[in-house]
Amino acid sequence: MTVQDDAKLQKIIDLDKKYYMNTFGNRTPVCFEKGEGVYLYDTKGKKYCDLLAGIAVNCLGHNHHALVEAIKSQAEKLIHCSSLYYIEKQAELAQKLVSLSCCDKVFFSNSGAEANEGAIKLARLYFQKRGLKEKYEIITLEKSFHGRTLATLAATGQEKYHKSYKPLPEKFVSVPANDIDALKGKINENTCAVMMEPIQGEGGINIVDADYAKKVRLLCDQYDLLLIFDEVQCGIGRTGKMFGYEHFGIEPDIFTLAKALGGGVPIGAFLAKEFVAKAMEPGDHGSTFGGNPLACAAALAVLNTIEKDGLLKNVEAMGAYMTEKLNEIAAKTDLIKEVRGKGLMIGIEFTSDIAAAVKDALLEKGFLVGTVGSRVIRLTPPLIIKKEDTDPFFAEFEQALTGGMKQ
């Protein structure tokens, strides 16, 4: 079927091209009208297995009864009110996240970029309030991605995101991941924090070495620095644990969340230990929509469902199963360089620039995957996925490699 065969889709594309800013280029020519579980249905009724989940957002899949009921119930009562007043669901969600994590206080935002911006502000504010005004530089990792605000772009360790927006905010420096000497060499009297994704999403599903993470924690303690973990993509059960830092045997001083936190409803958060959080005082930060009743009700439903339905165990089991099956395919071809990841955050790196072609071939067969650059396929399916959902994918993935790609 071509786009021209679908009049409804063509109308949507025409409207988009006429009225929406062209920030996404030529989007994949499909529009989804409804979802159920791990499946989506387009404007012609074609069924797709969603192995991307809105880029690690739809952790409960689509149309999950617990999430839908929480949203409906809250919408019938109160969608929004100002944080000038106390908000029941906001307080309950803050309590829930603190009870699950190593941190003591939370602030809610609308997105991952805002959460990371808040974490950056808090780190600098912490030292300002201590009278150490010279400590404001932040070290990040190369291939990182922290958001699209000016400050989070500056923190992002990928030049391609910088070039159109220079000059960017100063005093961010990036070093190679897993090179402790490189990081130590950048620490100076102005450094206030190290900020990193324990598992890089937009960088290609790159996992920080556990030994490296522990050494970074020790360096932060030694040089009076804060350790910030960006868990916007790897948090909320994605890796088989509620938070990514739990894999590394250390605790950050600040960490951020978004994407899966609301199961599709926009919400972000940054969390901090008490000694850091107390630097935030009235007037230091704020958000009109952050932590509103609707978003917090959705997030509570997500967290409660993950716990009640034992989804962390499912993520661990399905992550191991999918990785095993993908490695079996990799053993049959020279096209795959590596399969890597944790839980249901999986990257498949190819030996040549075929990621887009593989993605398109899978789309045609009814499977949604993502790409990172020209050589990596990203899989971040809903946490509810089962073997029977994935088995057809493996057959089509292998066929896509053996049937049309050059060796």
Identify the CA nearest to 231 among candidates 212, 254, 264, 262.
254
Structure-token match 């090179």, residue found = 179
The continuous run of DSSP H or E covering 152 comes out as helix 150-155
Buried b (16+ CB within 10 A) or exposed e, 101-117: bebebbbbbbbbbbbbb
Per the annotation, the verdict on 360 as an active-site residue is: no
* Cα(88)–Cα(296) distance, integer angstroms: 9
pLDDT (tens digit, 9 = 90+) per residue, 47-92? 999 999 999 999 999 999 999 999 999 999 999 999 999 999 999 9
The torsion of the CA quartet 246, 251, 257, 260, rounded to 10 degrees, works out to: 10
* Cα(183)–Cα(20) distance, integer angstroms: 42
Q: 5 Cβ partners below 8 Å, 6+ apart?
A: 44
Is the pLDDT at 114 greater than 90? The verdict is yes
Contact 106, 270 (CB under 8 A): yes
Contact 93, 299 (CB under 8 A): yes
Report the pLDDT value the prediction gives residue 170, as an integer from 0 to 100. 86
Is the pLDDT at 403 greater than 80? The verdict is no
pLDDT (tens digit, 9 = 90+) per residue, 184-202? 999 999 999 999 999 999 9
Buried b (16+ CB within 10 A) or exposed e, 183-219: beeebeeebbbbbbbbbbbbbbbbbbeeebbebbbeb
Is the pLDDT at 335 greater than 50? The verdict is yes
Contact 315, 381 (CB under 8 A): no
End-to-end CA distance of the chain: 28
Contact 110, 266 (CB under 8 A): yes
* Neighbouring C-beta atoms of residue 126, cutoff 10 Å: 23
Per the annotation, the verdict on 230 as an active-site residue is: yes
Domains contained in the chain, CATH given: 31-63+310-404 (3.90.1150.10), 66-308 (3.40.640.10)
Identify the CA nearest to 54 among candidates 33, 75, 40, 68.
40
- 25: pLDDT confidence band, cut at 50, 70 and 90? confident
Report the pLDDT value the prediction gives residue 151, as an integer from 0 to 100. 87
- In the numeric block, which tokens belong to residue 307? 């716990």
Catalytic position from the list 89, 121, 135, 259:
259
Report the pLDDT value the prediction gives residue 405, as an integer from 0 to 100. 62
Percentage of the chain exceeding pLDDT 90: 91
The continuous run of DSSP H or E covering 339 comes out as strand 336-342
Catalytic position from the list 6, 230, 253, 389:
230
Report the pLDDT value the prediction gives residue 5, as an integer from 0 to 100. 65
Phi, psi of 313 (to 5 degrees): -65, -40
3-state helix, strand, coil in the chain (%, to 5): 40, 20, 40
Is the pLDDT at 376 greater than 80? The verdict is yes
Is the pLDDT at 1 greater than 50? The verdict is no
Percentage of the chain exceeding pLDDT 70: 98
Report the pLDDT value the prediction gives residue 346, as an integer from 0 to 100. 98
Is the pLDDT at 227 greater than 70? The verdict is yes
Catalytic position from the list 145, 243, 255, 367:
145
Is the pLDDT at 161 greater than 90? The verdict is no
Averaged pLDDT score across all residues of the chain = 95
* Neighbouring C-beta atoms of residue 256, cutoff 10 Å: 30
